[in-house]
Amino acid sequence: MINRYSRPALRELWSDGRRFEVWLSVELAACEAMEEERPTPDSIVPPGTAARVRAAASGKLDPARILEIEQRTRHDVIAFLTHVEELAGADARWLHLGMTSSDVLDSSLAVLLCAAADHVADGLSKLSAALRLRAKEHAATPLIGRSHGIHAEPTTLGLVFAGFLAETERNRRRLAAAREEIAVGKIAGAVGTYAHLSPAVEARALGRLGLRPETVATQIVARDRHAAFFDALAVIAASIERIALTIRHWQRTEVGEAEEPFGKGQKGSSAMPHKKNPILSENLTGLSRLVRSWAQAALEDVALWHERDISHSSVERVIAPDATATVDFMLARVTGLVEGLVVHEQRIARNLALTEGLVFSEGVMLALVKKGLPRQRAYEMVQRCALAADSGGTLRERLGADGEVSALLDGAALDECFDLQHHLRHAGAILERALAEAAR
């Protein structure tokens, strides 16, 4: 994770200090659950142990010291426990009882990923709110719709935002499902059999942490859950990339329909003082590639050996912080872009008129069909006039001058085909649909 592409909350979330505190909270949750176990034979932890360890160690862990001990033990959880013993003394012996490192690590990872997911969810909510506002603001701003980068038929700027809104809402639902998938821990021992533990202790301990037990754990929580989680992040990133790509297109010199907010004192180029570049959107495009690639690595982590091998660990040490922090950052950035986007309505209107009506060609063809022509015949007649318009004259003029066409459609009938408001009569309904769905 690099500072440039992350925000403070996520950097703190994935700091050594926070991680060790979460480890401690898992150990203490398990310890408390064991204290409550009396009077079963497994319950040997003296009451009050967790409270005493918490008082001695919570908030006092020294990450540097733990890493120093790890140099010797080459095992991070053992180093951590050794340090807790330094702080809490004899009581610490009751920690980690019957547990394996992964009980701590995987339950902690779940706590941290859930917290990260909550940040991402918050970012999605804010993006939705921004999109909703812009969609309503431009509900009635006609905009040329483009397929293949070529003018197609008119749409509205509001609908573009509404499309992004609908996609963001889908991402909220996907993220919620993915968070549910990884809100799962385990306190089940070396190979998940509770050899020195019990399902009851686990359930209580995880409950305190906001987690559910893994259905069938091995040494670890199954990694298909994490793959699904990182895939959800990759889709979110791709959706942000779609918004960013649209802004980049809008800001092109020749299009000029909208542009990124440009700060006072900002410089677009070290060489060319006239430049105002969509660099934030381009940045999001690149970051999406990274999130996408990390998801690929997560998919390779699913098939581990037997009850686990540790190859997933190095992957997750990198991608869990990097992917969540990057998506959090991307959401904040794209939300700012949506909110601050400078819309040039005059350019939008000018571009809409650029083809001088070519974009209404479909309506003419349909009118000819209604007059009884076979579809392909009608198509060819209109295409002929459209291609001719390339060399001068508007489509409307070419059609009027075309003997075959004007024999079927008089001037009024032709004019009707070029009516923008008729084209957009359903735009409001679509927008309402998107807003209603987003409100759910």
Site for a second copy, residues 250 to 309, rule: CB under 8 A:
251-255, 263, 265-279, 282-283, 285-290, 292-297, 299-309
In the complex, minimum distance from the CB of residue 385 to a second copy, in angstroms, rounded to a whole number? 8
Interface of this chain with a second copy, residues 11 to 70, rule: CB under 8 A: 44
* Among positions 64, 407, 412, 429, the unique one binding a second copy when judged by CB under 8 A: 429
Helix 375-389 to helix 361-370 angle (10° resolution) is 150
In the complex, minimum distance from the CB of residue 132 to a second copy, in angstroms, rounded to a whole number? 12
* Among positions 9, 55, 195, 401, the unique one binding a second copy when judged by CB under 8 A: 195
User: Residue 307: what residue type?
Assistant: E
* Among positions 29, 358, 405, 414, the unique one binding a second copy when judged by CB under 8 A: 358
**3-class DSSP state of 146:** strand
Does position 139 interact with a second copy (CB under 8 A)? The reply is no
Nearest to 386 by CA among 155, 149, 150: 150
* Among positions 28, 359, 409, 414, the unique one binding a second copy when judged by CB under 8 A: 359
Q: How far apart are CA 103 and CA 98, in angstroms?
A: 10
Helix (H) or strand (E) holding 343: strand 342-343
Q: What is the dihedral of CA 29, 31, 33, 36, to 10 degrees?
A: -140
* Among positions 325, 395, 405, 414, the unique one binding a second copy when judged by CB under 8 A: 395
Stretch that binds a second copy, among 28-36, 54-62, 174-182, 335-343 (CB under 8 A): 174-182
In the complex, minimum distance from the CB of residue 383 to a second copy, in angstroms, rounded to a whole number? 4
User: Is the Cβ–Cβ distance between 277 and 268 less than 8 Å?
Assistant: yes
Task: List, in sequence order, every residue forming a beta bridge with 212; answer none if it has no partner.
Answer: 184
Residue 269 bears catalytic tag = yes
21/76 with CB nearer a second copy: 76
Binding mask 90-129 for a second copy (x = CB under 8 A): x-xxxxxxxxxx--x-------------------------
User: Is the Cβ–Cβ distance between 258 and 341 less than 8 Å?
Assistant: yes
Q: How far apart are CA 318 and CA 359, in angstroms?
A: 49
Ramachandran area for residue 48 (φ above 0: left; ψ -120 to 50: alpha; else beta): left
* Among positions 115, 121, 129, 152, the unique one binding a second copy when judged by CB under 8 A: 152
86/122 with CB nearer a second copy: 86
In the complex, minimum distance from the CB of residue 110 to a second copy, in angstroms, rounded to a whole number? 15
**Catalytic choice (15, 75, 196, 269):** 269
Q: How far apart are CA 223 and CA 227, in angstroms?
A: 6
Binding mask 214-253 for a second copy (x = CB under 8 A): -xxxxx--x-xx-xx--xx-xx--xx-xx-xxx-xx-xxx
Q: How far apart are CA 241 and CA 379, in angstroms?
A: 36
Does position 430 interact with a second copy (CB under 8 A)? The reply is yes
- Structure tokens of 307? 């009850």
* Among positions 28, 30, 34, 363, the unique one binding a second copy when judged by CB under 8 A: 363
In the complex, minimum distance from the CB of residue 439 to a second copy, in angstroms, rounded to a whole number? 12
111/164 with CB nearer a second copy: 164
SS (H, E, C) 170-200: HHHHHHHHHHHHHCEECCCCCCCCCCCCCHH
Residue 96 bears catalytic tag = no
The angle formed by the CA atoms of residues 218, 223 and 225, to the nearest 5 degrees, is 115
* Among positions 20, 23, 194, 418, the unique one binding a second copy when judged by CB under 8 A: 194
Nearest to 106 by CA among 231, 232, 214, 230: 214
Residue in the structure block whose two tokens are 């889709």: 235
* Among positions 2, 9, 342, 353, the unique one binding a second copy when judged by CB under 8 A: 2
Active site residues: 148, 269
